[in-house]
Chains A and B, each alone.
Chain A
Amino acid sequence: MQIQKNSGWRLFLQTVFGRSYPRVIGMQREKSWLFFDLVLPLLPIAAYVFVYRAMRAPEEYVGFVVFGGAMTAFWLNVLWAMSSQLYWEKEQGNLALYIMSPASMMAILLGMAMGGLFATSLRAFIILIVGSLLFNVQYAVVSFPQLLLVFLLAMTALYGMGMMLASVFLLLSREAWHLSNLAQEPIYLLSGFYFPIKSLNFWVAAFSSLIPLTLGLDAMRQLAFPSGAKLGFLSVEIEIAALIVLSAIFLAAARVLLAYMEKLAIREGRLTESRR
């Protein structure tokens, strides 16, 4: 097959498409994901649902768990398939090839993000639907456009954060894996994946809001559940504004840090190292 040689923005787009392609097509090639990515994540969600039922919690908390559980897919994707991906690429020997190619690293990261976002959205959506049907979750959406806006902003900020972290992880070796591993349960706790973030101390919740999913999840719950607004941390408008700011900061920081870290990694000879 003849591949057209491009440069400039065409090359940028071609790179984005090229890197997102394996993320999406991988789902077709490896059918096992249907079981591992859809059925198994439902089980811990169900466990938390039954914990709430054992405590005789109000039913909206069941909805909070299903919603939060579906959103964990995005956090895991950002952690393992964005932040630590460049470390994996380094270990696999691909990173040096990326740097040598005329493609922009920003485009490569964006491709990873878009492919990952597409694949993960599909998974999260299915988990949400199945979880909602299984546990009879009742929604009362206040505004669909706002809900969509919050989701898109939260994803932009989150994947921007993933791109930024990926550049930081570029310098790491085995620590990258351990850091990603460490950032699961503590983030589930701080971001209120299974309970309203308002239940935490104000300053803890404010600090946690640096992670875009915290505000995104809180705003989406306020917009999707009857008692969501009562249990919300800040008003939806403020959370939307904060997400816009976070998106801008993380995307800009990703660009600056990536350029800096790439130079630093090249200077220190860490692009091909493999400290095992």
Chain B
Amino acid sequence: MEIKNQKSKIENLKSAIRSLRLATWLGWQIESNWTDPFLFAVYSIVKPIASALILVVMYSIITQNDFGSPLFPYIYLGNAFYIYVGAVMVGVSWAVIDDREHYKTLKYIYVAPVQIPFYLIGRGVARFITGSVAVFITITAGVLFLRVPFDLGAVNAPLFIVSLLIGVIMLAVVGLILAGITLQIAQHVGFIGEAVAGALYLFSGAIFPLDVLPEVLRPIGYIMPITYWLELLRRSLVGSVAQAFPTLARFSDMQLLAILIALSLVFALIAIFVFRYCDRRARERGLIDRTSNY
């Protein structure tokens, strides 16, 4: 009996890895094979660069090009890393709309020997790859042309890598919650991932310190793992900038990391329950092959 259970667990794990791997490959093909590589590269960086430039223009108008202020790298780096939020979180939840309404293949995926949560997360991995290129180019442009302070020798590489890795897993998990909700709703609100990403942009202190928010709204930022994740990334790259703002100054790097891990685990648990519930409800109500086009 014990050996049988063990075998079943190994089989499940193998199935999860296979679902993730194949969905990653499929996601990459869908993301990239609609055009030639050059155009795809341009497409992948124009959006994030434009998004960063909106903030740069706003900043330069108000501060008369005072790029030396710590606020500028705070905004710029927060915005650059926030690309991952849009990419991974939206990538996972958008896969539901894409497969259900566009390709009409979600029902076939459901009847295939695939683990749906891992399949959806795999679809987000392709966006993580393109997102990484965009993050790299955005930060490089900031360092080269906009005087974002960056000293390679002062970078805390281990902290950066660990934070990035935990953060990306956390974003995939949040994406899974949204994917579950997306299973319940119509296509015209298919941008739920982007909408939530927009909401978190406000509460996570991505582009302004949380102290600027009204006091009553700040707790929302404090329970979001993205807040700590962005702070850790900023600290690992340009520690002096992060220290200029009092919001999370009382926490050490290790404390922030511990909070990030704890909150990520909480969100992972929520994701398991929410996705299971939404998945069962969608099956019961026949929402798996729903199409809605107004």
**Chains A and B come from one and the same complex:** yes
Confirm or deny: B293 has a beta carbon within 8 angstroms of a beta carbon on chain A.
yes
Interface contact A55-B201, CB-CB below 8 Å: no
Interface size, chain A (Cβ < 8 Å): 47
Residues of A within 8 A of B208 (CB): 47, 50-51, 53-54
Query: Chain A interface secondary structure, helix, strand, loop or mixed?
Result: helix
Q: In the complex, what's the smallest C-beta–C-beta distance from A239 to chain B, in angstroms?
A: 20
Confirm or deny: A30 has a beta carbon within 8 angstroms of a beta carbon on chain B.
yes
Q: In the complex, what's the smallest C-beta–C-beta distance from A220 to chain B, in angstroms?
A: 19
Nearest A residue to B191, CB-CB = A36
Residues of A within 8 A of B188 (CB): 26, 30, 33
Bound Cα distance from A243 to B21, whole angstroms: 52
Bound Cα distance from A26 to B189, whole angstroms: 12
Interface contact B55-A51, CB-CB below 8 Å: yes
Confirm or deny: B38 has a beta carbon within 8 angstroms of a beta carbon on chain A.
no
Confirm or deny: A23 has a beta carbon within 8 angstroms of a beta carbon on chain B.
yes
What 0/1 readout, one digit per residue, does chain B (255-271) give for beta carbons within 8 Å of chain A? 00000000000000000
Interface contact B294-A43, CB-CB below 8 Å: no
A189-B50 contact given A23-B294, A30-B189, A92-B291, CB 8 Å threshold: yes
Confirm or deny: A57 has a beta carbon within 8 angstroms of a beta carbon on chain B.
yes
Interface contact A43-B58, CB-CB below 8 Å: no
Q: In the complex, what's the smallest C-beta–C-beta distance from A248 to chain B, in angstroms?
A: 30
Task: Give the contacts of A188-230 with B (CB-CB under 8 A).
Answer: 188-189, 193-196, 199-200
Confirm or deny: B246 has a beta carbon within 8 angstroms of a beta carbon on chain A.
no
Residues of B within 8 A of A89 (CB): 293
Q: Which residues of A contact B (CB under 8 A)?
A: 22-23, 26, 30, 32-33, 36-37, 40-41, 43-44, 46-48, 50-57, 61, 88-89, 91-92, 94, 173-175, 178, 181-182, 184-186, 188-189, 193-196, 199-200, 276
Q: List 5 A-B contacts (CB under 8 A).
A: A30-B188, A51-B75, A54-B209, A175-B35, A185-B50
